[in-house]
Chains A and B, each alone.
Chain A
Amino acid sequence: MSNLSLSTLYNQTSLRFIRTLIIWLPGAVVALLWLFPLYWMLNTSVKPDRLIMAGVDLFPTEITWEHYRTVVADTPVIRWFINSIVTSVCVVAGSLVLGSLTGFALARMHFPGRTVIFWLLISSLMIPPEMSIVPLFIGVLRLEVQDSFISLIIPPLASVFPVYLYRQFFLSFPRELEDAAAIDGCSRLGTFMRVALPLARPATLAGAILIFTSNWNSFLWPLLVAFKTEWKTLPVGMAFYTRLDIQGTSTQSGYGEAMAAVAIVALPTLIFFLILQRYFIEGVTQVGIKG
């Protein structure tokens, strides 16, 4: 009797297990395939040239840091790294200040023009940035600010995303807290600084992460305004490694270096993402649903 029920139980469990497997296996395989190119980058970047040319092996049998050393020796990677870091950090800081102030006003303050301004900002999202690229480029040349942090940092500050993010957040902010702050004698700015901003930490974190990533990865604008090598950002500088093999001539030598070069660009945002992915997802979700 007990034997029978045990075997039924066993059968049910294994059946469930098999069903779960059938549902999850294809997805897991697709997910692995999706991740594979990034793995392949790391894999190739640590393989000696000899093994890269020998053919495909999924696990490197021999590990070398040679390619990374070559990249650091061949390119001003430190300088590009500094350019990228300084630009991204300044854009994040600036965007958060501008976005939180504007978002707070649009969500919590009563003034004529509020709706019009909000819709103006939202509809500007429909206009491709390419529309303003030629005029901005002319502006940069006229002001002679090409090859400088000014041209790298100021234009991205006009992004509407942080304003939108904070507005959505502050809309759900309880009125009572504001009133309590007003009773305590806080001005509007005081309420904003001491009450609203500390409570908006989730929005600030999500915003910081998404703005940082998008600026770190930004390509067309930094490509246009960096004339001199030392003013390139990391993604623009490393574009050098595309020259290797676009003509179909098969010279595999150099792919180790190319993969090491792009790994240097990719690892900061990838590590950042793995640690803070909750906030990445939250930020995207915020924009998605509440839009």
Chain B
Amino acid sequence: MTHLADRAAPDGWLSRLSKIRYRGRRIDWQAYFFILPFALIFIVITLLPIFFGIYISFNEWGIVGDPEWVGLDNFREAMKDDWIPKVWGNTFQMAALVVPGTVIVALLMALWINREQWLSGPIRTAFFAPHVVAITVTAIIWIWIFEKETGLLNVALYGVGIPKQGWLTTSKWVIQSISLVTIWQAVGFHMVILLAGLKEIPAELGEAAVIDGASAWQAFWRITLPLLTPAMGLVITLEIISAFRIFGQVYLMTGGGPGGHSATIVSYIYHEGFVRFRLGFAAALSLLLFLTILLFTLLRARLVREHSN
């Protein structure tokens, strides 16, 4: 059956053009006009800057004066810089708390709401609400909750006999505190994705397994979780990317302190690039960040593939 767009066109170069076929069907030339506006913006704002960024990372590039080609110097410096292991270590520690923390809480809540009972609507709302507020809002609310003397958390803990802690001001707690805030904000979003994944799984499957003598726990491990793999994969990938990019919380809540104990990769990029205006060095760090994220997401994809085989 021929498609209606294939109707005969009058002769001329236009009609010859319209007769060109691609994979058996006439080409919709107008499509290129549909795509053009976005394509231009995408090329100028996303594609070219990526390549330009790689070029910049081989230069010493300040805010005034001419850039100077320095080859691999920025990367060599990054290897020697004392801050690099520190900010990378902090970021890994946060990712190690935030990724499993968010995914597990989101999964538990999704499983629980999926039972479709009377409170599921309001509870979903409660979990999603922190996701719609700005990072400034989150950060400042939690600065107040974490406050040393009259902050809610210390007052509550003091009430049950635990001494007051400087949650954001001591190296002992700062990473955990920032991770907690990050999880608080992220859970709702991932819960909704997982909930959508759960809704795709027919309830009868689990019930049948339980009738066949499987415990609810076995039914979850053997049936629900494997069928949820695509949604879980998406959630974990998104979380890995966002955990490596933690910035706003740190910038606003601690400024990287105390003593750099909460400085992350992106807050260091910000500091080097936009406070000290060492743009070449910052571009080199961004490239390293990208490679790290790429490595971890590929690793994750590989683990899932091996797991499902």
Binding site for B on A (CB under 8 A): 20, 23-24, 27-28, 30-32, 34-35, 37-38, 40-41, 44, 52-53, 55-56, 97-99, 101-102, 104-106, 109-112, 114, 117, 121, 124, 126-128, 130-139, 141, 154-155, 157-158, 160, 163, 178-179, 182-183, 187-189, 192, 213, 216-217, 219-220, 224, 234-236, 238-239, 241-242, 244-248, 250, 252, 255, 258-259, 261-262, 265-266, 269-270, 272-274, 277, 280-281, 284-285, 287-289, 291
CA–CA, A155 and B42, complex, Å: 9
| Chain A residues with CB below 8 A from B192, complex form | 281, 284-285, 288
Q: A24 contacts B119, CB within 8 Å? A: yes
Interface centre among B112, B127, B129 (most CB of A within 10 A): B129
Please judge, given known A-B contacts A27-B123, A265-B134, A277-B125, whether A285 and B193 are in contact too, CB under 8 Å: yes
Check B247 against A98 for contact (C-beta < 8 Å). Answer: no
- Asked if B126 and A31 sit within 8 Å, CB to CB, the answer is yes
Measured CA separation A41–B138 after assembly (Å): 10
Number of A-B contacts (CB under 8 A): 298
For residue A137, which residues in chain B have a CB less than 8 angstroms away from its CB?
273-274, 279
A233: min CB distance to chain B, Å: 9
Say which residue of A97, A110, A246, A277 sits within 8 Å of B28 (CB atoms).
A110
Interface check B135, CB cutoff 8 A: yes
B26 within 8 A of A: yes
For B26, B139, B184, the residue with the greatest tally of chain A CB atoms inside 10 Å of its CB is: B139
Residues of chain B within 8 A (CB-CB) of A238 are 136-137, 140
CA distance A16 to B243 in the complex (A): 42
Structural contact, A117 and B35, CB atoms closer than 8 A: yes
Chain A residues lying within 8 Å of B113, measured Cβ to Cβ, are: 27
Selected from B41, B47, B136, B289, the residue in CB contact (under 8 A) with A265 is: B136
Chain A residues with Cβ below 8 Å from B184 are 34, 37
Mostly, the B contact residues are helix
How many angstroms between the C-alpha atoms of A98 and B34 in the bound complex?
8
- Interface size counted on chain B using CB atoms at 8 A: 106
* 21 A-B residue pairings within 8 Å (CB atoms): A31-B119, A32-B126, A41-B144, A102-B39, A111-B29, A111-B31, A126-B293, A138-B279, A139-B49, A158-B45, A187-B30, A188-B5, A217-B135, A219-B134, A238-B136, A252-B150, A261-B140, A273-B132, A274-B125, A285-B193, A289-B193
Collect the chain B residues with CB atoms within 8 Å of residue A262's CB: 136-137, 140-141
CB of A126 within 8 A of CB of B148, answer: no
Of B81-89, B204-212, B280-288, which stretch is located at the interface?
Answer: B280-288
Within the complex, the shortest CB–CB distance from A107 to chain B, in Å, comes to 11
Beta-carbon contacts under 8 Å, B158-194 to A: 166, 168-169, 184, 187, 189, 192-193
Q: How far is the CA of A6 from the CA of B4 in the complex (A)?
A: 69
Inter-chain contacts of B46 with A (CB < 8 A): 124, 132, 158
B144 contacts A134, CB within 8 Å?
Answer: no
Residue in A closest to B105 when the chains form the complex, CB atoms: A30
- Bound: A135/B284 CA distance, A: 12
Cβ of B253 under 8 Å from chain A: yes
Which of A37, A109, A141 interacts with B30 by CB under 8 Å?
A109
Of chain B, the residue at the smallest CB distance from A24 is B119
- In chain B between 205 and 245, which residues have their CB closer than 8 angstroms to a CB of chain A? 231, 234, 241, 244-245
Q: Which of B1-16 contact A (CB under 8 A)?
A: 3-5
Choice from A44, A101, A241, A274 contacting B38 with Cβ under 8 Å:
A101
Which of these, A35, A139, A213, contacts B126 with CB under 8 Å? A35
CB-defined contacts of B274 to chain A, threshold 8 Å: 137, 224
The 7 closest A-B pairs by CB, nearest first: A132-B49, A158-B45, A288-B193, A105-B34, A109-B31, A135-B49, A217-B134
Give the distance in Å from the alpha carbon of A136 to the alpha carbon of B279 in the complex.
11
Task: Pick from B28, B41, B195, B297: contact of A154, CB below 8 A.
Answer: B41
B1 to chain A, nearest CB (A): 11
Known: A224-B274, A236-B136, A250-B147. A132 touches B50 (CB 8 A): yes
CB-based contact A266/B137 at 8 Å: yes
Kindly list chain B residues whose C-beta atoms are within 8 Å of the C-beta of A136. 45, 49
Contact A56 to B53, CB < 8 A, known contacts A255-B144, A280-B132: no
